[in-house]
Amino acid sequence: MKQTIRKRFTTLAGVASLGLAATAMAVPAETLDEVMARRGLSQKDLLAAAKTYTPTGGRDEFIVFSSGGQSGQIMVYGVPSMRILKYVSVFTPEPWQGYGFDEESKAVLAGGIIDGRELTWGDTHHPALSETEGAPDGEFLFINDKSAPRVGVISLDDFETKQIVVNPILQSEHGGTFVTPNTEYVLEAAQYPGILGRGFAPLSDFNEKFRGAITYWKFNREKGRIEPENSFSIELPPYTQDLTDAGKLVSYGWSFTNSFCAERYVGGIESGRPPFEAGCSQADTDFLHIINWKKAEEVYKAGKVTMINDHPVISLETAVEEGLVYLVAEPKSPHGVDVSPDGKFIVVGGKLDVTASVYSFEKIQAAIEAKNFSGVDPYGLPIIKMEDALHVQVPLGLGPLHNQYDSKPCVIYTSLYVDSQIAKWDYCEGKVLDKISIHYNVGHLVAMEGESVKPAGHYLISLNKLAIDRFNPVGPLHPQNHQLIDITGDKMELLYDMPVPLGEPHYAAAIAADKLKPLVRYRYGTNSRTGGKHEGATRPGSERIERDGTTVNVYMTAIRSHFTPEIIEVNEGDTVNFIITNSERAEDETHGFSVSTYNVNLSLEPGKTSTASIVADKPGIFSFYCTEFCSALHLEMEGYLVIKPKGYVEEAAAVSEGQAYTQADYDKQVQTNVDTQAVIDSVVGYITARNYKDFPEVASLVEDAVDQLNFAADAKAKSEAAAAESDWQNATLWAGQWWQYQVKAADIGLRAKTYLDEHGAVVVE
Ligand code: K7E
Ligand code: CUA
């Protein structure tokens, strides 16, 4: 039977290879013209492709951090290729990264528990990159949750979420996150008015008791954390605050927050009243809040605050007394608010208007200094007359929403939601320069470093709300559509559509790729969520199982392709903590760890230590294994968690194995190892004869290979010791392990050799 199968395979292979040879002769590769004809591509398409296509191994010029909307995550992609590189989980558990599955990240998520409720999602809107002197510096990223007022802090060292803080006073927010020019503060402004501190008052008290606010979260760059104890808020009227931006250069020290529903309408469609949408859009204007945060910081430090939920809040009364907040009218249902790169202008869109309004910071300051106000609002805040603050108003089209700046002076791009267009215009002169149609209904847009003091130009991305007919249909829930636009010329050119199947990405932030310097591996035994050394970090050789009452701590290591220990016996009812260190140094050698039916998955990148905790409440045999395909013997990277039933009495017995090995088996394995060593020696010879030390990637591969060869030497010694005692069983198995390490070393060595070949290494004397 066996014989027949083998014969059939041989025959099949023969036929297949003959067939291939015949096909290769008959069909030459298609020419460019033929491909264009077959796919219906124009010259313009080809140009767009040439501008975006990134050949294998190529890199992008810019990296975009996009909100993941309702997914509670952040999406990272490259420009111009539009290739997605990563999802960073922030408010939502995500198993691939172990986020919300290991104890270290659970501690981060626990920071987001709000009023005792554990949330498993977030509505992310506005990512903000940390800035130095008004330009993104590539160190940190922040993002807000609109639904439950929270802010996440992500380190760009490893693209992991490090902290979630809960706003102590708001019940809803939207005007976050935006940073001040040196990331002194991370700004988070309210959306729907509520009772500060999340208390109760009847809606009939809306004008008297409901409030908005803005929180200035103090950021400690050295620690890479927000410091709630050094943060403060300013109480604001119950206008529905919307977006925020921080002043820069000439307007440094100020921040701007627009609003809608300054009508303070309270709906009630169920009792026959017109809905919110009618009442909140009736008036012709709403209010832009102009806030002196530098002065507010002094007022806060002087202790002129009210404590709400242990959080210092500057009251409206104090804000009026100290001259911290001013209002200016802005057109119908405004949305974006974006300070120009030079800090001189503030541009605001109006969802139900056709114009964008450009306010002059200089004029605003002049009005404040001259106390030239048209009056005060019902809460005592001074109102600057619109005409006294405006530089220019420009009709752009229907529904101007958000703005981004170009590297060319005075050039700005504004999304037109209703028109499904982007307008390019000059905000100094107040004239429209170009328009382009997008598909469809753009919300935010992002230009490269387009909110920095020094925008980078090149590309603009339209973050569209609707995709409608752009992609292959996938059911009623469509992907979002990010459209890449070339803005280098006078006319905007649409280059590429990228479907986003994650959530609604409201906003994105872009940075030059070379500003990012992420880690390749962690310092050995790092708790990535704190950045410090993990107290359970374990070196190879000191793995152990420690019991303390009913708690069992398993100090493990993971390396290609085994866990140590691999058989773990516990009793029903024990709490088991698997504290695992990935002892690899090699780039991209991540291991996973899952335990059957216990809802565990870890992601262990090189050097990282993570903990999986379970309560062994069900006795039985539970296999654990590595969930990342890390090596040829990844499937063998396995073990057993043996949970013994209560009252189980052990009977001593030898482990019964399926195979018994003889001296002949041992000799055969040793011969294989000797042959393998010859291959390794030749690869080592090839590498060391070249200037491999000039290539950091190769140097670290060589380091890793040397590690593996040391492990091989150790296994070889064990094998030989067993052979000396004629213990052929262990001698053969250890010889097999010795070979495993050799194979890994050879694999790494070949990778290094290929790299050297492809990167023009030269022979050294
Ligand atoms: Cu316009 Cu939340 Cu910034 Cu959506 S927001 S688009
Ligand atoms: Cu380690 Cu798969």
Ligand nearest to the CA of 335: 1
- Which DSSP state fits 656? P
Distance from the alpha carbon of residue 583 to the mean position of ligand 2, in angstroms? 12
Q: Residue 345: CB partners within 8 Å, gap ≥ 6?
A: 339, 358, 359, 360, 361, 391, 427
Distance CA 542, CA 344 (A): 62
Beta strand 638-644 with 567-571 is parallel
Residue bearing the CA closest to ligand 1, atom 6: 443
Ligand nearest to the CA of 558: 2
Q: Using the predicted structure, report yes or no on whether residue 20 has a pLDDT greater than 80.
A: no
CA–chain centroid gap for 513, Å, is 15
Q: Residue 449: CB partners within 8 Å, gap ≥ 6?
A: 135, 136, 455, 456, 510, 511, 512
Q: Using the predicted structure, report yes or no on whether residue 619 has a pLDDT greater than 70.
A: yes
Which pLDDT score is estimated for 123? Answer: 98
pLDDT tens per residue across span 471-514: 999 999 999 999 999 999 999 999 999 999 999 999 999 999 99
Helix (H, G, I), strand (E, B) or coil at 358: strand
Query: Of the residues 402, 462, 463, which should be mutated to test ligand 1's pocket, given the most ligand atoms within 8 Å of the CB?
Result: 402
Which pLDDT score is estimated for 463? Answer: 98
Phi, psi of 741 (to 5 degrees): -65, -35
Residue tagged 């015949």 (tokens): 22
Helix (H, G, I), strand (E, B) or coil at 236: strand
Distance from the alpha carbon of residue 314 to the mean position of ligand 1, in angstroms? 27
pLDDT tens per residue across span 222-237: 999 999 999 999 999 9
Closest approach atom of ligand 2 to CA 590: 1
Residue 512: how many other CB atoms lie within 10 Å:
17
Q: Using the predicted structure, report yes or no on whether residue 3 has a pLDDT greater than 80.
A: no
CA distances from 590 to 110, 511, 584 (A): 25, 27, 8
Pocket flag, ligand 1, residue 125 (CB < 6 Å): yes
- For helices 696-724 and 663-688, the axis angle rounded to 10 degrees is 160
Distance from the alpha carbon of residue 320 to the mean position of ligand 1, in angstroms? 30
Phi, psi of 661 (to 5 degrees): -110, 150
Residue type, 349: G
Which pLDDT score is estimated for 13? Answer: 41
Is residue 553 within 8 Å of 537, Cβ to Cβ?
Answer: no
pLDDT tens per residue across span 356-391: 999 999 999 999 999 999 999 999 999 999 999 999
Q: Using the predicted structure, report yes or no on whether residue 8 has a pLDDT greater than 70.
A: no
Ligand nearest to the CA of 260: 1
Which pLDDT score is estimated for 24? Answer: 54
Distance from the alpha carbon of residue 469 to the mean position of ligand 1, in angstroms? 23
Q: Using the predicted structure, report yes or no on whether residue 596 has a pLDDT greater than 50.
A: yes
Lowest mean pLDDT among 27-31, 215-219, 228-232: 27-31
Class in CATH terms, 62-89+122-264+275-515: mainly beta
Pocket flag, ligand 1, residue 733 (CB < 6 Å): no
Residue bearing the CA closest to ligand 1, atom 2: 125
Is residue 574 within 8 Å of 550, Cβ to Cβ?
Answer: yes
Distance CA 603, CA 155 (A): 17
- Per-residue confidence band for 76, with pLDDT thresholds at 50, 70 and 90: very high
Same fold, 62-89+122-264+275-515 and 544-644: no
Q: Give the residue from 347, 391, 383 showing the smallest Cα distance to 367.
A: 383
- Per-residue confidence band for 23, with pLDDT thresholds at 50, 70 and 90: low
Closest approach atom of ligand 2 to CA 635: 2
**Whole-number CA gyration radius for the chain:** 32
Class in CATH terms, 544-644: mainly beta
Is residue 345 within 8 Å of 358, Cβ to Cβ?
Answer: yes
| The pair of three-digit structure tokens given for residue 657, joined into one six-digit string | 């194995």
Q: How many CA atoms lie within 13 A of 196 on its CB side?
A: 26
Ligand nearest to the CA of 627: 2
Q: Using the predicted structure, report yes or no on whether residue 124 has a pLDDT greater than 90.
A: yes
Distance from the alpha carbon of residue 443 to the mean position of ligand 1, in angstroms? 6
Distance from the alpha carbon of residue 153 to the mean position of ligand 2, in angstroms? 30
Residue bearing the CA closest to ligand 1, atom 4: 506
Residue tagged 């973050």 (tokens): 463
- Per-residue confidence band for 699, with pLDDT thresholds at 50, 70 and 90: confident
| The pair of three-digit structure tokens given for residue 757, joined into one six-digit string | 């070949």
| The pair of three-digit structure tokens given for residue 381, joined into one six-digit string | 């805040």
Secondary structure (DSSP) of 106-141: HHHHHTT-BTTBPPS---B---EEEEETTEEEEEEE
Pocket flag, ligand 1, residue 351 (CB < 6 Å): no
Strand ranges, E, within 489-619:
493-500, 508-512, 544-548, 551-559, 562-564, 567-571, 575-582, 591-595, 602-604, 609-615
Pocket flag, ligand 2, residue 438 (CB < 6 Å): no
Pocket flag, ligand 1, residue 174 (CB < 6 Å): yes
Which pLDDT score is estimated for 92? Answer: 98
Lowest mean pLDDT among 160-164, 427-431, 708-712: 708-712
Distance CA 142, CA 507 (A): 12
Average pLDDT value for residue range 458-467: 97
Pocket flag, ligand 2, residue 628 (CB < 6 Å): yes
Which pLDDT score is estimated for 672? Answer: 94
Lowest mean pLDDT among 16-30, 347-361, 378-392, 628-642: 16-30
Q: Using the predicted structure, report yes or no on whether residue 104 has a pLDDT greater than 70.
A: yes
Lowest mean pLDDT among 131-140, 596-605, 698-707: 698-707
Helix (H, G, I), strand (E, B) or coil at 661: coil
Beta strand 431-437 with 442-448 is unpaired
Average pLDDT value for residue range 417-432: 97
Which pLDDT score is estimated for 656? Answer: 73
Helix (H, G, I), strand (E, B) or coil at 208: helix
Distance from the alpha carbon of residue 506 to the mean position of ligand 1, in angstroms? 5
**Percentage helix, strand, coil for the chain under 3-state DSSP, each rounded to 5:** 25, 35, 40
Pocket flag, ligand 2, residue 381 (CB < 6 Å): no
Closest approach atom of ligand 1 to CA 506: 4
Is residue 105 within 8 Å of 76, Cβ to Cβ?
Answer: no
Percent of the chain's residues with pLDDT above 90: 86
- Which DSSP state fits 515? G
- More confident call, 703 vs 273: 273
| The pair of three-digit structure tokens given for residue 689, joined into one six-digit string | 């004869």
Q: Give the residue from 440, 449, 360, 438 showing the smallest Cα distance to 404.
A: 449
- List 431's β-bridge partners, or say none: 426
Average pLDDT, the chain: 94
pLDDT tens per residue across span 652-677: 777 777 888 999 999 999 999 999 99
Helix (H, G, I), strand (E, B) or coil at 676: helix
- Cα dihedral 66, 345, 347, 300 sign: positive
Helix (H, G, I), strand (E, B) or coil at 155: strand
Q: Using the predicted structure, report yes or no on whether residue 180 has a pLDDT greater than 80.
A: yes
Closest approach atom of ligand 2 to CA 627: 2
Pocket flag, ligand 2, residue 626 (CB < 6 Å): yes
CA angle 631, 605, 742 (to 5 degrees): 30
CA angle 291, 292, 294 (to 5 degrees): 140
Distance CA 430, CA 488 (A): 21
Residue type, 648: Y
Distance from the alpha carbon of residue 89 to the mean position of ligand 2, in angstroms? 22
Domains of the chain, by residue range, sit at: 62-89+122-264+275-515, 544-644, 663-758
Distance CA 559, CA 650 (A): 31
CA distances from 497 to 68, 74, 441, 464, 541 (A): 17, 19, 14, 10, 52
Closest approach atom of ligand 1 to CA 335: 1
